[in-house]
Amino acid sequence: MNPTTCTQRQGLKRRRCLRLFPILGVIASWGLVVNAFAVEPLSLLLPEQKTIAIRDPDQLRRVETEPGPPPATVNDLQSTIPERPLSLDEAIAIGLVKSEVVRVLGGVTASTSGRSVYDVAIANSRIDQERAAFDPQLRANNAFNHLENPAAGLDPLNPGQSIISGISNDAYGLDFGLSQRNLTGGTTAIGVNPNSNRFDPGVFPLNPQNRSSVDVSYVQPLLRGFGTNANRVPIVLARIDTERSYFQYKSSVQQLVQGIIEAYWALVFAKTDLWAREQQVEQAEFANLRAMTRFEVGDANAREVAQTKLALENFRANALASQANVLQRQAALLNILGLPPYELERLTPTTPMVEEVIEVDWQAINDFAQTQRPDIIELKLVLEADQQRQRLADNQAKPQLDGVALYRWNGLEGVVPAGNRISTSPGQFTDWTMGVNFSVPLGLRRDRAVLRQQTLVIRRDEANLQQGLHQMQHLLALNVRNLEQFYAQYERFKAVRAAAKVNLDQQLASYSEGIEQFIVVLQAIVDWGNSVSNEAQALSQYNTELARLELQTGSILETHGIVFFEERFASIGPLGRLGPDHVYPATTVPSANTNRYPAGDRPSEENLDLEDPVSPDIKAEPAPGVKSDLDEQLEFKNIDQPTGKPMTDEEIDEILPKPAKSSSLRDLLRRSLRR
């Protein structure tokens, strides 16, 4: 037959041309071509990504940072910034408030730990995702269909002639059902399926014709997929992952608190070290002034002046390095506290360091650490999770054996050619099905391999847990040794400082009388400054190690009164925007933590009994009628002063170098200049 021939239906005079279909085909092909050119002009079919598309950085989201002044440097100390006393408890509170992303200390800077306050809530949402597998499932599928199926047959009006005719069917179908899976693995379902059909031409027993059915079914796995333990594994794993996320977050917060304490004590030590170096500079300036004075009157040679000048410049260089270290430690403390790198107020530590020895119960901290350390708890949770996966793998290594049951009520109604409507009575026609379905991969190679793998993973987890406990004990032992070492060093350096103070006093007294060479005084100055720095460093390390011991035992948060509570956040719930708001209350900012450290009323470094290194004995007046070597060498300073009239302190201050005015060394010069 000619493909352009039109069909004629019985009793119908309308004609529909088949030429419409080639036109629709051309339109569809043109749509594919246009779509291909839109993706990549040079490719018509299966376009490939052959170029790298990179946007200009200006097109990305811009995030504004808070503007501020430049940070302090060694050339711009910004000494006019007002000071703000900061206790260690207050520092910890600031760090906790600003720890939306948790930071950890690393040397003289702080970096993100990779943990945030949102991690636990994100992990917790997975529990509902896994529980959703047991939620009722509702389906409703509507379909309106118009069907015309052509068929060839004999023309009843012209015997021997063939014609093409067709029947149109306007149909409507509804598939409505509700199903739910239970914890044993079984699935209960109920379905309703009404279908309506209207035929044209209408030579049918029923036209229109309505079929409907209601069915109830149940499928129960008997081997694979059976049992509450196996079906609850995804939910249990999600809960374990939430616990792991919580303890990972807790571990990062513990490191944050320990980092704040370490940065705080490091700043106290740096300021103490700077003070000692500045005192060394002051003493070297006095010695250099004295040498130059003696050189001017011809009582000293250029070697002594050069030697004192070299010592002075070395001490100034050391003081500059100490000043830079103070700035770095201040920046590290600001960083880990979540504050900007510039200061509108200079944070001044006021909490004194602990100077008492702390006794450690070795067995107690071992037992406590096993139950409180987040990393040990996480290893235990990993073992529990893999045990759950083994349970699931054991269930999946079984054949698939399902019991099935179905019961269906069928109905039919419609209009007969005579025009009257007939229908079935309720429950007149029913179906039922009962059976058992079985399937199994021969050998179960894959599933048994997964089970064997999971068994080995559990053995590995147990070994990792033992290694974690082993490592924990060695870290605790290291902490105990460090505590003993740092405190013993603190006591030794404290004695060294006292001896260095006496030695410096004696050497300065001898030097001022011309008995000792400057090289001996220089060594005394170096020894004294180093003893002050070493004492402060040992005490700082001891206090830092106390916090590190609390970190290793997992008790650093509890000892500082820091606890976690379940924090919810504003979010849309299962009921949508019509749901009650109180289900998801707003976040709560951290409250103040327990005060553990005394605030102090002066800078922390001053609690180390920092005082000028000049002994009162050196300041004593010489015997009547006896001039010291210093007196004689500085007499030329008084050439304009009337004989017998002593200079006032104000007049002496005018001729003294500026550094000497801030130290008790000025008394030595005053004594030599007073007549």
CA distances from 485 to 250, 488, 489 (A): 30, 5, 6
Lowest mean pLDDT among 175-184, 551-560, 594-603: 594-603
Q: Which helix (H) or strand (E) holds 314?
A: helix 302-337
Torsion of CA 612, 618, 621, 622, to 10 degrees: -160
pLDDT at residue number 508: 80
Under the banding of pLDDT at 50, 70 and 90, the label for residue 11 is very low
- Say if residue 324 is exposed, middle or buried (CB neighbours under 10 Å; 0-12, 13-18, 19+): middle
Q: What is the mean pLDDT of the chain?
A: 81
Phi and psi, residue 8, nearest 5°: -130, 125
Cite the beta strand spans of 549-645 per DSSP E.
none
pLDDT at position 212 over 70: yes
**Distances in whole angstroms, Cα of residue 609 to Cα of each of 56, 227, 278, 416:** 60, 72, 16, 113
Chain segment 314-364, per-residue pLDDT in tens: 999 999 999 999 999 999 999 999 999 887 888 999 999 998 888 889 999
The whole-number pLDDT of residue 20 equals: 46
Stretch among 42-56, 162-176, 323-337, 393-407 having the lowest mean pLDDT? 42-56
Q: Which residues pair with 116 in a beta bridge?
A: 101
Residue 36 Cα to chain centre, angstroms: 45
- What pLDDT shows up at residue 296? 80
Residue scoring higher pLDDT (622 or 658): 658
Q: How far is CA 598 from the centre of its chain?
A: 30
Closest CA to 379 of 249, 475, 253, 243: 243
DSSP 670: H
In this structure, what token pair is assigned to residue 425?
């009575």
In the prediction, which pLDDT does 299 show? 73
pLDDT band at 397 (very low <50, low <70, confident <90, very high): very high
pLDDT of residue 572: 62
pLDDT in tens, 130-167: 999 999 999 999 999 999 888 887 777 787 788 888 88
What confidence tier does 591 reach under pLDDT thresholds 50, 70, 90? low
Q: What is the pLDDT of residue 15?
A: 39
Whether 435 shows a pLDDT value over 90: the answer reads yes
CA dihedral (93, 97, 102, 108) in degrees, to 10, reads -50
Mean pLDDT of 65-94: 88
Q: What is the pLDDT of residue 610?
A: 74
267-280 pLDDT, tens per residue? 999 999 999 999 88
Instruction: Please give the biggest Cα pair distance in the chain.
Output: 161
Phi/psi of residue 164, each to 5°? -110, 125
pLDDT at residue 453 tops 90: yes
Buried b (16+ CB within 10 A) or exposed e, 218-250: ebbbbbbbbbeebbbbbbbbbbbbbbbbbbbbb
Lowest mean pLDDT among 89-103, 337-351, 468-482, 555-569: 555-569
Q: Please answer whether residues 559 and 548 qualify as being in contact, where contact means their C-beta atoms are separated by less than 8 angstroms.
A: no
pLDDT at 14 over 90: no
Q: 204 by DSSP, 3-state: which?
A: coil
Q: Of 442-451, 607-616, 620-629, which range is least confident?
A: 620-629
pLDDT at residue number 593: 64
Q: Token pair for residue 245?
A: 């996320």
CA–CA distance, 547 with 553 (Å, rounded to integer): 10
Assigned token pair, 506: 């004696």
Tell me the percentage of the chain whose pLDDT exceeds 70: 79
1 pLDDT above the threshold of 50:
no
The answer on pLDDT for 384 being more than 60 is: yes
Q: What is the distance between the alpha carbons of residues 464 and 466, in angstroms, rounded to a whole number?
A: 5
Residue type, 598: P
Can you read off the two tokens belonging to residue 186?
């079984």
> What is the percent of the chain where pLDDT is above 90?
48
- Compute the distance between CA of residue 557 and CA of residue 251 in angstroms, rounded to an integer: 10
In the prediction, which pLDDT does 620 show? Answer: 36
For residues 223-245, average pLDDT: 94
- The two structure tokens encoding residue 460: 């590995």
pLDDT at 570: 56
The answer to whether the beta carbons of residues 59 and 322 sit under 8 Å apart is no
**pLDDT tens, position by position, 503-546:** 888 888 887 777 667 788 888 888 988 999 999 999 999 999 99
Say what the pLDDT of residue 636 is: 34
